Amino acid sequence: MIASPVLPGSAARQLIALRRDFHRFPEPAWREYRTTCCIIAELRRLGVPVVYGPAIHCREAMYGLPEDDSADLARAAAEDCDPALLAELAGGYTGCVATIEGARPGRTLAVRVDLDCNTLAECADGDHLPAREGFASCHAGFMHGCGHDGHAALGVMLARRLLQRRDDLCGKVKVIFQPAEEGLGGAASMVAAGVLDDVDVLLGSHIGMGLAPVGAVAAGTHGFLASTKMDVFFHGRGAHAGVCPQEGRNALAAAAAAVTNLLAISRTGQGASRINVGSLVSVAGRNVIPPEAKMSLEVRGATDEINAYMEDAALRICRAAADMYGCTVDRRIMGRGAAAESDPALAARVAEILGRVRGVTEIVPSHDFRASEDFTAMMRRVQSRGGQATELIFGADIASPHHSERFDFDEAVLPLALDVLTALAMELGK
| Extended strands (E) in 269-345 | 273-281, 292-301, 328-337
* Domain of 313, in residue numbers: 226-337
Residue 290: closest CA among 248, 321, 257, 256: 248
215 & 260 share domain: no
Find all residues with CB under 8 Å of 17, minimum gap 6, and list them.
none
| 417 occurs within a structural domain | yes
From the CB of residue 84, how many other CB atoms can be counted at a distance below 10 Å? 7
Is residue 278 within 8 Å of residue 297, measured between CB atoms? yes
Which pLDDT does position 269 carry in this prediction? 82
217 & 287 share domain: no
298 & 232 share domain: yes
48 & 149 share domain: yes
| 102 occurs within a structural domain | yes
| 175 occurs within a structural domain | yes
| 38 occurs within a structural domain | yes
Class of residue 42 by CB neighbours under 10 A (exposed 0-12, middle 13-18, buried 19+):
middle
Cα 354 to Cα 249: distance, rounded to the nearest angstrom: 62
150 & 166 share domain: yes
372 & 359 share domain: yes
Which domain-ending residue is among 282, 312, 337? Answer: 337
- 378-401 pLDDT, tens digit each: 999 999 999 999 999 999 999 999
- 88-109 pLDDT, tens digit each: 999 999 999 999 999 999 999 9
| 3 occurs within a structural domain | no
Residue 95: closest CA among 46, 144, 27, 143: 27
Q: Indicate which CATH number applies to the domain containing 326.
A: 3.30.70.360
> Which of the 8 DSSP states describes residue 5?
P
Local confidence band at 9 (pLDDT 50, 70, 90 cut-offs): low
The string of DSSP letters for 8-70 reads PHHHHHHHHHHHHHHHHS---TT--HHHHHHHHHHHHHHT--EEEGGGG--GGG-TT--S--H
| Positive/negative CA dihedral, 81, 137, 72, 404 | positive
- 142-200 pLDDT, tens digit each: 999 999 999 999 999 999 999 999 999 999 999 999 999 998 889 999 999 999 999 99
Cα 77 to Cα 150: distance, rounded to the nearest angstrom: 23
- 259-306 pLDDT, tens digit each: 999 999 988 888 889 999 999 999 999 999 999 999 999 999 999 999
3-state class of 398 per DSSP? strand
Is residue 342 within 8 Å of residue 221, measured between CB atoms? yes
Q: What value does the mean pLDDT of the chain take?
A: 94
| Positive/negative CA dihedral, 112, 146, 192, 97 | negative
Which pLDDT does position 280 carry in this prediction? 96
Which domain-ending residue is among 283, 305, 337? Answer: 337
Q: What is the dihedral of CA 54, 58, 64, 65, to 10 degrees?
A: 30
18 & 63 share domain: yes
Q: Indicate which CATH number applies to the domain containing 365.
A: 3.40.630.10
110 & 208 share domain: yes
Q: What is the mean pLDDT of residues 18-43?
A: 97
Which pLDDT does position 2 carry in this prediction? 37
Which pLDDT does position 333 carry in this prediction? 92
pTM for this prediction = 0.90
173 & 263 share domain: no
271 & 201 share domain: no
| 111 occurs within a structural domain | yes
| 2 occurs within a structural domain | no
Which pLDDT does position 164 carry in this prediction? 95
30 & 163 share domain: yes
Across 6-10, 88-92, 138-142, least confident range: 6-10
| 1 occurs within a structural domain | no
* Count: domains in the chain: 2
Answer whether residue 4 shows pLDDT above 70: no
Which domain-ending residue is among 288, 310, 337? Answer: 337
Of the chain, the end-to-end C-alpha distance in Å amounts to: 18
The string of DSSP letters for 61-116 reads G-TT--S--HHHHHHHHHTT--HHHHHHHTTT---EEEEEE-SEEEEEEEEEEE--
- 315-371 pLDDT, tens digit each: 999 999 999 999 999 999 998 888 889 999 999 999 999 999 999 999 999 999 888
What is the residue type of 137? S
Which pLDDT does position 6 carry in this prediction? 42
Cα 43 to Cα 160: distance, rounded to the nearest angstrom: 8
346 & 241 share domain: no
Cα 256 to Cα 11: distance, rounded to the nearest angstrom: 54
